[in-house]
Structure 1
Amino acid sequence: MTTTPRFTGENPVLKFDKLDVQFRTEFGTVHAVKGITLSVEPGEVMALVGESGSGKSVTATTALGLLPKTARIQGDTRVTDKSIGQLSGRQLRSLRGNRVAMVFQEPMTALNPVITVGEQLTEAMEVHGVAFGRDAWDRAVDLLNAVGIPNAERRAKQFPHELSGGMRQRVVIAMALACDPDVIIADEPTTALDVTVQAEILDLLRSLKDKLNTGILLITHNMGVVADMADNVAVMFKGTIVERGPVEQVLLQPQHPYTKRLLAAVPRLGEGHGQFGVAPNPVEPTAEAALDVRDLVVEYHRAGKKPFRAVDGVSFDVRRGEIVGLVGESGSGKSTIGRALLGLIPSKSGEVRVLDQNLLGLRGHELKSLRKRIGVIFQDPAASLNPRFPIGDVIAEPMSVHKVGNAKEREARVHELLDAVQLPRSVYNRYPHELSGGQRQRVSIARALSLSPDLLVADEPTSALDVSVQASVLAMFTELQREFGFACLFISHDLAVIDSLAHRVVVMQYGKIVEKGTREDVLLHPQEEYTRRLLAAAPVPDPIEQRERREARYELLKELGDEVVELDTRELDYDARGPRTES
């Protein structure tokens, strides 16, 4: 494939020239970035791709002058005509936000929780001398309007916790725009978002670079986002750039083995079972139900307010040996159902039969006995594993609680489980913080299987993992399900993951089921509007196909009467601010 480059690197707004970063630690020197050269031009989206630990975020942080004093930096980093290494602290503060801005991965940590959204926007403008007082407030409201936040005047007076995740991310983008920067660094800007909100944020960023000619350095490990957004791609591995080029060339004709491995690990919507070399066993339609949920209602009570109904009359079942995918966006009630099935939160009404026993009617010893037959895998292994327990004790804890076997038998069972989840037995005496994220999730799976459960509830078990780690965990999970034959309720918002392993799919919105059926019926031939929206918003790692999918999504939104998200530059008056003043 031959492509004529739109961007030549001759007029960069951000350039790393032979950047080399090393960190001094108590255990020696860590060589994080190894002499990379990379540039971003006005109007260009350069995607910096790689897994955790590859050096992406360290590279980006260098452009803001925010690396700690333990970092030894060599080479040159330039933002427009300014060399970062030659600037004083005052000059760096003037540069940040003014010439180079950052959109962080998690907006709740990027926003001050005790200051209103409008005040945070005006603060940035007043610090950089863009606008003051009422003018700054009016411009803050204009910025919120520009990024598509409705009722901007009212929203500007609210605190971050009063906004949804998608709105918070829009606020962060508005803050990045406040001083009209030349380049924006977007560090995993959509990782924490639902698929439809992610599509809207990507539309907004695309509109931003097209209309304002802003350069964007996009840091991500999501190949679908790269295909949707990037003009050019640089692939990082262990601190070096191993491949670079136009997005079509890198994603469709990868040359480096690492790039090929990354792309091969991406689950693809529509390809179904067996994507990672192993497919779940087929399930007989006559198989008995391991889980049967009927008219489940869960409510949260708030002081002085009407109860909030998080789950409203939900009914579905999971047969023995079957994986049922429960999908939907944040707030749809997925995780609430999972917690209710585990007895961790009370249910207002309905019936939950687990292995033909009514879970909601059991108490004391009977409930504990039934819970022994249910395993659970949580989303964040770092939060669900006891940091004071070595791995052997973490996995053996359920057996200790339920008084299964003696110490020697429990140790032998733990070793069996470590083999099953493909971890070396040497981790037995190590602690959770000594393992990687993927290894900790394998420990979580081993712990969930320690009592040989008949039913497993998996709540977003791979969402926090890198793509290749996710692929290996999903392959291992499928092999374990084939071997142990447990029924599984797999909760996720990633439709491609569900497509790769589920037998049936249940789609939820606002606490209700909107569609359910076989994987083929729901994911390939959706009937309901909401399911069609979800599927249309899911990106694929093929830039040509993704372009077609994006156009098809726009047509669907028009058909359904929705507006396509765009940056409204009419709300922004950059000419009023005059020339830049930098110390």
Structure 2
Amino acid sequence: MSDPILDVRELRVAIGPDEAVRGVSFGIARGETVALVGASGAGKSLTAKAILGLLPRGAQASGSAVVDGTEVIGAGRAVLGELRGRALAYVPQDALTVLSPVHRVGDQIAGAIASVRGIGIEAARRAAIDALDTVGIPDPAARARDFPHQFSGGMRQRAVIALAAAASPKLIVADEPTTALDVRTRTQILDLLRDRCAATGAGMLIITHDLAVVDEYADRVLAIEGGRLLAEAAPERPAVAPRTELGASPTLLEVRDLTVEYHMSHVPLHHRLGIGRRRSSGDTGTSSGTRGRSGARAVDGVSFDIAAGETLALVGPSGSGKSSTAAAVLRLLKPAAGTIRFEGRDLTAMSDRELRALRPRFQPVLQDPYGSLSPRLSAGEAVAEPLRVQRRWDPEAGPNKVRELFALTGLDPELADRRPHELSGGQCQRVNIARALASEPRLLVLDEPTSALDAPLRRGIFELLIGLQERLGLSYLFICHDLEAVRGFAHRTAVIEHGRIVRSGPTQEVCDELGAVEATAAKAV
């Protein structure tokens, strides 16, 4: 390869006595996009972090990674800072790891521009507005004054790209940059990244488990397994089998004419629960609904039923109202109108005391496996926590109950003493499911529970949830943008757009129709 922008030779990363990346070598030419794929724990993110000089504490790198003529491995903070300002940019999976929550978006981009270009702050602020406009942020002058939490997931990713592009980088490292986004927004973000690279001649290393991204955007594909580079080929696509028809069952959840004002609907679901850091999704300026700010409707007259033992998928474009519907069902926000009946009881008419007594019967499983767990609690403590909160903890029987929940969700009991950072994403999500089951619920609200996982882990979680449903008679409200996951997991599917359900029916029929529409829309973007 002539004149590579990135040249990696015999890269090794050790964490303690274990070597997680083992002699990886590859290069990226100017203007080339290379995808690095592999299962969870294969070493792809550690490879990317070594190239960025962002390895976690305790990790040791050796070998060589040269970016635009500068050696990264062993470089000091000053050299890395100059390199990131001049040639190297990072687009992460979670934009909130890059964007400060206490500073306005425009000010953050302006600060980067002022530092890189050596211009005054007022000129930098004007350049920041131009940068937001370039990446497709509507009304950029006004949105520059917003804080990151006021942006949707898709808009935050656009803002991070604007931040990354401030230095006209020679190499962009994008680590799962579209995991939380629906198909349409994902396409827009990846098109934007490709356009930025094409405009500047930058190379791109994209870490992904999304095979559609590999097919559409990668010039070359590098597969990594067990820390070793294998071959330039995409991994095997797991087959997804459709669910069988559900027989007649009594209604468990009945939602009628549900209306949610914009109000707090832009606040991510995990923030209402007081856990984690992430993530609303979408590209419309709110995570739910697209009809504007305070006073507008995020959910507008939604009605649906879920039977005992049934899975209903709620799908739609980013910002369509999916997460606000889920939050209303969980009674984490109060609807402006409509009724939500669970087991025949109207949740919207209940007092706080009545709701507290009933809450164990409907539980959430959220998108971010790690952010959903407290870093201070071990896996076993996290699963035991609902029993303690609900005053059902028995010092003698409790530990056995935790072990039973571990076994039920396919977790090795030896993992009980580990903290979240010591577990894989799939293991963390199984802990979250076990914690939800500790309350003995009848309904789980699954808000994008597998979008942060690679294909094999996604399949494992879906197989686990299907098995639990068949064994325990659980019902699921499944918020998702992955059509193939919906097709293989949900009995029925409802499509929501602009806060209204526009199509519902058997999953196979709805997904065939929706897939054709999204394929046409993606080509038109």
TM-score scaled by structure 1? Answer: 0.75
Q: CA RMSD in A?
A: 3.3
- Pick from 345, 367, 371 the counterpart of residue 357 of structure 1: 345
Note if contact 1:507-1:516 (Cα within 8 Å) is conserved in structure 2. yes
Q: Equivalent residue for 1:288?
A: 250
> Whole-Å Cα distance in 1 between the matches of residues 377 and 49 of structure 2?
34
Q: Equivalent residue for 2:290?
A: none
Q: 1:379 to 1:183 in 2, by over 3 A?
A: closer
> Whole-Å Cα distance in 2 between the matches of residues 451 and 133 of structure 1?
53
Q: 1:331 to 1:429 in 2, by over 3 A?
A: same
Note if contact 2:387-2:393 (Cα within 8 Å) is conserved in structure 1. yes
> Whole-Å Cα distance in 2 between the matches of residues 357 and 289 of structure 1?
12
Matches within 5 A, 1:51-70: 51-67=39-55
> Whole-Å Cα distance in 1 between the matches of residues 107 and 385 of structure 2?
48
> Whole-Å Cα distance in 1 between the matches of residues 147 and 390 of structure 2?
45
1:343 aligns with 2:352: no
Note if contact 2:323-2:479 (Cα within 8 Å) is conserved in structure 1. yes
1:180 aligns with 2:168: yes
> Whole-Å Cα distance in 2 between the matches of residues 40 and 360 of structure 1?
56
- Pick from 224, 228, 231 the counterpart of residue 216 of structure 2: 228
Note if contact 2:173-2:205 (Cα within 8 Å) is conserved in structure 1. yes
- Pick from 249, 254, 260 the counterpart of residue 298 of structure 1: 260
Q: 1:411 to 1:22 in 2, by over 3 A?
A: closer
Q: 1:85 to 1:296 in 2, by over 3 A?
A: closer
1:11 aligns with 2:13: no
Q: Equivalent residue for 2:465?
A: 477
1:447 Cα offset (Å): 3.5
How many residues matched?
497
Note if contact 1:130-1:179 (Cα within 8 Å) is conserved in structure 2. no
> Whole-Å Cα distance in 2 between the matches of residues 199 and 315 of structure 1?
30
Note if contact 1:32-1:239 (Cα within 8 Å) is conserved in structure 2. yes
Secondary structure of residue in 2 paired with 1:38: strand
Q: 1:360 to 1:38 in 2, by over 3 A?
A: same
> Whole-Å Cα distance in 1 between the matches of residues 421 and 26 of structure 2?
33
Matches within 5 A, 1:321-340: 321-340=309-328
Deviates more, 1:53-62 or 1:390-399: 390-399
Q: Equivalent residue for 2:231?
A: 243
Q: Deviations over 1:128-169 (max 9, x none)?
A: 346556665554444333323333444445544443332332
Secondary structure of residue in 1 paired with 2:17: strand
Q: 1:379 to 1:219 in 2, by over 3 A?
A: closer
> Whole-Å Cα distance in 1 between the matches of residues 100 and 374 of structure 2?
30
Q: Percent identity?
A: 41
Q: Deviations over 1:313-354 (max 9, x none)?
A: 111001122111112344433233333323333333322222
Matches within 5 A, 1:494-505: 494-505=482-493
Note if contact 1:122-1:132 (Cα within 8 Å) is conserved in structure 2. no
> Whole-Å Cα distance in 2 between the matches of residues 328 and 369 of structure 1?
32
Pick the structure with greater CA Rg. Answer: 1
Note if contact 1:381-1:437 (Cα within 8 Å) is conserved in structure 2. yes
1:388 Cα offset (Å): 6.0
1:490 Cα offset (Å): 1.6
> Whole-Å Cα distance in 2 between the matches of residues 122 and 402 of structure 1?
48
Q: Aligned AA for 1:49?
A: V
1:476 Cα offset (Å): 1.3
Matches within 5 A, 1:24-39: 28-39=16-27
Matches within 5 A, 1:251-270: 251=234, 259-260=235-236, 263-264=237-238
Q: Aligned AA for 1:20?
A: R
Secondary structure of residue in 2 paired with 1:439: helix
1:47 aligns with 2:35: yes
Q: Equivalent residue for 2:134?
A: 146
Note if contact 1:94-1:128 (Cα within 8 Å) is conserved in structure 2. no
> Whole-Å Cα distance in 2 between the matches of residues 368 and 178 of structure 1?
49
Q: Equivalent residue for 2:427?
A: 439
Note if contact 2:261-2:294 (Cα within 8 Å) is conserved in structure 1. no
- Pick from 184, 201, 204 the counterpart of residue 192 of structure 2: 204
> Whole-Å Cα distance in 1 between the matches of residues 491 and 354 of structure 2?
31
